[in-house]
């Protein structure tokens, strides 16, 4: 029985090269691999409120004394297999949130934000080599979410009938350095969530977190390996998507992440 040698199919026509499509491009963001970062745990940071009702009551008290509450959260991005991953906290195996928190009434915005990032992610008693307190590179403000009333709902705009919103939450892009030591409170988990997992996934992550892929679409990325070599560029192609999954970086990793967070992200 004769065998036929396989042939490689080739197009009869060369590809059509379009005109340049790079006008008005933003700066290219360099992403370092997840393996460049060191993750640990530190003392528990109990939640200030034991229920949603208690949280909204505290917001009401804050508003009565200080006016609109200011909240800042960070979008920290690294990569694995040349695909962006977002560093995210999971609290009590129940809901996801970005690192950050509300600012103290007396705090200036950026310095206050850096202090809240330190509270969540900086190691206690020892910073990484060459690091100092507040060593965060705060980038673009990518989104603003508004809480019009003492309710859980937040919107990416101020409703027309609202003149005194109760809270404004800003999401900032945080440029991670080549390496960094990060520690998470023992009662939380630090996760690396692939970008495609967030996209259009409001049922799991809520509207704010599932919008992150849209927010980051404005950027071009270059992906760097552990030796500092650029190994891929946007648009680029990565390996098979089956290799991507949410990773537990620090905290209790005994929980099956495939069913975690049946409740969407908290606001």
Q: Which residues pair with 28 in a beta bridge?
A: 220
Determine the 3-state secondary structure of 239 from DSSP: coil
Q: Whose CA is closest to 265, among 153, 149, 186?
A: 153
H or E segment and range at residue 55: helix 52-66
> pLDDT tens for residues 2-45?
555 555 556 788 888 888 877 887 889 999 999 999 999 999 98
Number of domains in the chain: 1
Range of the domain at 118: 44-258
216 contacts 195 by C-beta, under 8 angstroms: yes
210 contacts 201 by C-beta, under 8 angstroms: yes
CATH code for position 70: 3.90.79.10
Q: Does residue 19 belong to any structural domain of this protein?
A: no
pLDDT at site 203: 95
Q: Does residue 65 belong to any structural domain of this protein?
A: yes
> pLDDT tens for residues 175-199?
999 999 999 999 999 999 999 999 9
Q: Does residue 18 belong to any structural domain of this protein?
A: no
Q: Whose CA is closest to 40, among 195, 180, 193, 225?
A: 180
pTM to 2 decimal places: 0.82
Which residues of the chain carry a pLDDT beneath 70? 1-10, 125-131, 235-244, 252-267
Q: E-assigned strands of the chain?
A: 28-31, 38-42, 69-80, 83-91, 95-97, 100-102, 137-147, 167-175, 181-185, 188-194, 220-224, 230-233, 247-250
Q: Does residue 251 belong to any structural domain of this protein?
A: yes
């Amino acid at each position: 029985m004769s065998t036929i040698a396989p042939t490689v199919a080739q197009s009869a026509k060369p590809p059509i090269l379009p005109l340049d499509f790079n006008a008005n491009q933003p700066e290219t963001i360099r992403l370092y691999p997840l393996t460049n970062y060191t993750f640990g745990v530190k003392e528990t940071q109990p939640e200030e409120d034991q229920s949603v009702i208690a949280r909204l009551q505290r917001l009401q008290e804050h508003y009565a004394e200080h006016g609109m509450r200011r909240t800042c959260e960070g979008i920290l991005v690294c990569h694995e297999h040349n695909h962006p991953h977002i560093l995210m906290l999971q609290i009590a195996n129940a809901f996801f949130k970005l690192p950050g928190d509300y600012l103290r009434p007396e705090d200036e915005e950026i310095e206050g934000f850096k202090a809240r990032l330190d509270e969540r992610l900086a190691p206690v008693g020892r910073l990484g080599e060459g690091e100092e307190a507040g060593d965060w590179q705060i980038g673009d403000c990518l989104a603003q979410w508004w809480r019009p009333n003492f309710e859980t709902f937040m919107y990416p705009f101020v409703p027309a009938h609202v003149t005194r919103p109760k809270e404004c939450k800003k999401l900032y892009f945080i440029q991670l350095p080549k390496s960094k030591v990060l520690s998470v409170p023992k009662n939380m988990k630090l996760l690396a969530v692939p970008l495609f997992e967030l996209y259009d996934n409001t049922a799991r992550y809520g509207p704010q977190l599932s919008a992150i892929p849209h927010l980051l679409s404005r950027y071009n990325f270059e992906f760097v390996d552990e030796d500092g070599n650029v190994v891929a560029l946007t648009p680029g192609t990565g390996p098979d998507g089956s290799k991507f999954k949410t990773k537990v970086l620090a905290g209790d990793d005994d929980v099956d992440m495939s069913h975690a967070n049946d409740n969407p992200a908290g606001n």
